Amino acid sequence: MKTELKHDIDHILQAIEHDVVDGLLRPGMRLDERMLSERFGVSRSPIREALLRLSLQGMVEIRRNKGAFVSELTSARLLGMLEVLSELKVFAAKLAARRMTLEGRQELEALCKNMVVHAESGNLKNYFDQANAVHDAIFQGTHNAYLIESARNIQTCMCGYRKYLSQIMHMPLRTSLEENRNIVAAIVRGDALEAENCMRVQTELRREEFSDLMVMMAGNATPRELEAA
């Protein structure tokens, strides 16, 4: 593949991915090849290649004779992703405790302190954003590119539902804060077993929350319906 064409495909892929993450393209929306071709100033070939790659990641669904659409997640698929992501987080915590550099541990501590500030001020949005930054730093601390990429692909596919999922995975706030602080403390001191155990405690869906999630996702509820609930 020519370098210029590869650059076009990568650029298109990243732009569409960012639009999905930012909520500009929502689950179920059609991705019109002609409009995308005009937007990026390219032929339809790189557009189709980018959409094909996104479909392999699970972000885009290509329907025969209908075109490409931003993927909508059924309750079963979403829960399957949550289960896999939970195990990846547990593994990441263990690896990060063993492999994270001194600089990485210091940055992780700084992120944790910011998270505490937002929690104490009651700013839920900033708390959730900072908690996600903490977990991203943990993945980076594994120095395992495939693990980071796998987690990122799942998180990107779930991003249309992230507001609701962040709330259900991080509530109640005080419990979530304590769990995150325990995870960070174990990683910073290099206790891989404790980091693994603390992360597993956090990622296990509580029975009531699991039940609520199933009810909310019944009938393939859209992100708008989830957020309004």
> 62: which DSSP letter?
E
The chain-wide mean pLDDT, for the chain, equals: 83
Lowest-confidence pick of 13-22, 31-40, 157-166: 157-166
Position 154 pLDDT exceeds 70: yes
The number of distinct structural domains making up the chain is: 2
Give yes or no: residues 58 and 103 share one domain: no
Give yes or no: residues 58 and 94 share one domain: no
Residue 171: its pLDDT value, please?
55
Give yes or no: residues 8 and 40 share one domain: yes
Give yes or no: residues 136 and 175 share one domain: yes
Give yes or no: residues 37 and 9 share one domain: yes
pLDDT 10s digits, 92-135: 999 999 999 999 999 999 999 999 999 888 887 888 889 889 99
| b/e map 119-137, b = 16+ CB within 10 Å | beeeeeeebbebbbbbbeb
In this structure, what CATH number is given to the domain that contains residue 154? Answer: 1.20.120.530
Residue 18: its pLDDT value, please?
83
Give 148 or 175, the one with higher predicted confidence. 148
Give yes or no: residues 61 and 167 share one domain: no
Domain around 110: 75-228
Give yes or no: residues 55 and 119 share one domain: no
Predicted confidence band of residue 153 (pLDDT cuts 50, 70, 90): confident
Domain boundary, last residue among 44, 70, 96: 70
- Three-state SS across 163-199? HHHHHHHHCCHHHHHHHHHHHHHHHHCCCHHHHHHHH
Instruction: Tell me which residue of 204, 205, 199 sits closest to 94, measured CA to CA.
Output: 199
pLDDT 10s digits, 195-209: 999 999 888 755 456
Q: pTM for this one?
A: 0.73
Position 160 pLDDT exceeds 80: no
Contact at 8 Å (CB) between 37 and 50?
A: no
Q: Tokens for 97?
A: 């405790």
In this structure, what CATH number is given to the domain that contains residue 42? Answer: 1.10.10.10
Residue 220: its pLDDT value, please?
47
**How many whole angstroms separate alpha carbon 165 and alpha carbon 223?**
10
Give yes or no: residues 52 and 91 share one domain: no
Q: For a pLDDT cut of 90, what percent of the chain falls above it?
A: 44
Give yes or no: residues 210 and 119 share one domain: yes
Position 143 pLDDT exceeds 90: yes
